[in-house]
DNA sequence: GACCTTTCTATGGTCAGACCAAGAGCTGGC
DNA sequence: GCCAGCTCTTGGTCTGACCATAGAAAGGTC
């Protein structure tokens, strides 16, 4: 027999020795799931909580850091009403950081990310065509006008472009979809700017193409034409990906 | 004038005083973005890195915790080749935790989460219909057979159900879409089980309906009928949501 | 020489205690 | 009545110690 008899027996796997800070997280999660902690609530001061849980302050702090990284907590010094450690609602920022790291690590292939982006933004465009308010449509138009300015460099263009797509996602009304859209766009910011620079002289015609695409999307939204908005968004993203990365999505 | 003149001047906002651990994270992110750190690489021991960066070990540890929470690092004691702190690729787990917290905090309304789920799983079903392997289709069938077992209680049913949907997402071939699907399903586990229990005697007919839906989805995948697979997945999720939460998605 | 046991060492895990820094509120002098 | 300065709370950081784990190395036994 090559292995030990007590190994790989179905149904048995080693217990993961929980680290102290994970136990602290578990206690906090209990409070959240049971509804005893809601967004805006304050947690006890680190020193107090450490004593209450019977652990060191360092363990509490490491737990807080992990939760802060997930956008669940917000920490601030001082005394006032906004100070201390409070339960936050920052899923968008946390999602963005998470995705940025994993895109940089190439855990998600670029093509997969772009396909996901198409899926998300089609959904948002469809919903936005149905329920965007007049004010939201007007805001989109203003963004497009700003992108037409002659002194709009590539970085500013990209930031306005991002705001345009994010505004559509938020007009779509689905928080989760909007936050995922934001996360994808922001995580692509650096590679996108690098691709813009690589374009060299080809930039101007491509930017004009993007401006034209955006107007078509905006027009479809104004016309409340969900199918057209979806189609234009998909065409827009695919053609941009093709020109910036010289690849097709198949 | 009600406010100070130096406040809310467009373009000016207070600098966020970076905390030491955030600076440590920035250094690590630099290494990752520049490609000097790739998945599997080891970071220096905490004590060494602390000295190299001129900060305390506690600051390094807090940074590591934040990155661990994002699925970017993996920490293990000991001396062997797998010990120490290494760059990991665990986006799925990190996404799941993140979403679980924010669903529990109701930062994402249930209806939004379910709509996002429909969007994701439609995409996966469409792609899976085109590219699922014979082995993957067979695995799906085995899962469905297991769900037919008479001794399959609600929790086991839910776990098999999850594996069925996740398997389709993975057969779809898009890592990001699959990981988001996993995260959504897992984050819904607790509320889903609670809803199952609330059903009481209505459980049996509903479970039969789910089994039937699954067979229809499976059949569409076998037939390589992408449009039908998409439609069946959407119908399945909508009808389940309607019966479990007694609400319509509109 | 092969193999098992013991010891060593590197590394993360945890803790205690100290001091710093920001910020709201209190207090006393003007 | 108002402003400066003190005070207290709370997170931010550092130091240094010791614990726990798991390979690696050393040593002993057959």
Query: What parts of chain B have a pLDDT lower than 50?
Result: 1-10
Nearest to A179 by CA among A28, A71, A85: A71
Whole-number pLDDT of residue A3: 36
pLDDT for A13 equals 59
Q: What is the dihedral sign for C-alpha B59, B65, B66, B68?
A: positive
Contacts of B170 (CB under 8 A, 6+ apart): B136, B178
Query: Does the reported pTM lie above 0.85?
Result: yes
CB contact under 8 A, B69 and A72: no
Q: Tell me if B85 sits within 8 A of B70, measured CB to CB.
A: no
Residue B6: enclosing H or E segment and its boundaries?
none
Using CA atoms, how far apart are residues B189 and B147, in angstroms rounded to an integer?
17
**Please, which residues have CB within 8 angstroms of residue A135's CB and are 6 or more apart in sequence?**
none
- Cα(B117)–Cα(B107) distance, integer angstroms: 16
Chain centroid to Cα B134, Å, comes to 26
B215 vs B203: CA distance, rounded Å:
18
Beta bridge partners of B75: B85
How many Å apart are CA A229 and CA A217, to the nearest integer? 5
What confidence score (pLDDT) does residue B13 get? Answer: 57
Let me know how long chain B is: 250
Nearest CA to A181 out of B214, B176, B242, B38 is that of: B176
Interface test with A, best of B69, B193, B194 (most A CBs within 10 A): B69
Burial class (CB in 10 A: 0-12, 13-18, 19+), B92: buried
Nearest CA to B128 out of B160, B162, B158, B164 is that of: B164
Side-chain half-sphere exposure of A186, counting CA atoms within 13 A: 17
CA nearest to A121, candidates A86, A88, A93, A161: A161
Residues with CB under 7 A from strand C: A 19-21, 54-59, 62, 76-83; B 17, 43, 45-48, 57-58, 61, 64, 75-79, 83-85
Q: What is the predicted pLDDT for the residue at B190?
A: 94
At A64 the pLDDT is: 98
What backbone phi and psi angles, to 5 degrees, belong to B205? -60, -35
CA triple A63-A67-A70, angle to 5 deg:
150
Residues of chain A with confidence (pLDDT) below 70: 1-16
Count CB-CB contacts under 10 A for residue A105.
Answer: 20
Q: How far apart are the first and last CA of chain B?
A: 48
Per-residue pLDDT of A87-131, as tens digits, reads: 999 999 999 999 999 999 999 999 999 999 999 999 999 999 999
**A120: number of Cβ within 10 Å:** 30
Q: What's the pLDDT score for residue B11?
A: 52
Judged by a CB distance cut-off of 8 A, whether residue B193 touches chain A is no
Task: Supply the pLDDT for residue B204.
Answer: 93
pLDDT, tens digit, 9 for 90 and up, residues A219-241? 999 999 999 999 999 999 999 99
3-state SS class at A233? helix
Restricting to B residues 92-131, those with a Cβ less than 8 Å away from any Cβ of A are: 94-95, 97-99, 101-102, 104-109, 112-113, 115-116, 119-120, 123
B28-62: b or e for each residue (b if 16 or more CB lie within 10 Å)? bbeebbeeebebeeebeebeebbeebebeeebbbb
Contact A211, A146 (CB under 8 A): no
From CA A195, how far away is CA A192, in angstroms rounded? 5
Predicted pLDDT at B249: 80
State the best of A75, A105, A179, A233 to mutate against chain B, taking most chain B CBs within 10 Å. Answer: A105
Q: State, as a whole number of angstroms, the distance between the CA of B79 and the C1' of C1.
A: 28
């Amino acid at each position: 027999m090559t292995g030990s008899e007590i190994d790989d027996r179905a149904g048995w796997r080693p217990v993961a020795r929980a680290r102290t800070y994970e136990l602290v997280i578990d206690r906090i999660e209990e409070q959240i799931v049971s509804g005893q902690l809601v967004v805006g609530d304050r947690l006890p001061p680190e020193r107090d909580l450490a004593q209450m849980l019977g652990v060191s302050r360092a363990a509490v702090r490491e737990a807080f850091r992990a939760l802060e990284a997930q956008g669940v907590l917000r920490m601030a010094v001082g005394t006032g009403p906004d100070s201390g450690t409070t339960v936050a609602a920052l899923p968008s920022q946390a999602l963005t950081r998470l995705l940025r790291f994993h895109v940089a690590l190439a855990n998600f292939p670029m093509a997969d990310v772009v396909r996901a982006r198409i899926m998300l933004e089609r959904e948002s465009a469809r919903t936005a065509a149905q329920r965007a308010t007049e004010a939201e449509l007007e805001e989109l138009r203003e963004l497009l006008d700003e992108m037409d300015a002659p002194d709009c460099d590539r970085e500013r263009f990209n930031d306005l472009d991002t705001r345009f797509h994010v505004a559509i996602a938020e007009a779509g009304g689905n928080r989760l979809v909007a936050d995922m859209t934001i996360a994808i766009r922001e995580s692509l910011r650096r590679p996108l700017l690098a691709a813009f620079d690589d374009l060299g002289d080809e930039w101007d015609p491509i930017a004009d193409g993007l401006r034209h695409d955006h107007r078509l999307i905006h027009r479809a939204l104004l016309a409340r034409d969900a199918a057209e908005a979806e189609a234009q968004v998909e065409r827009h993203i695919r053609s941009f990906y093709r020109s910036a990365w010289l690849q097709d999505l198949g």
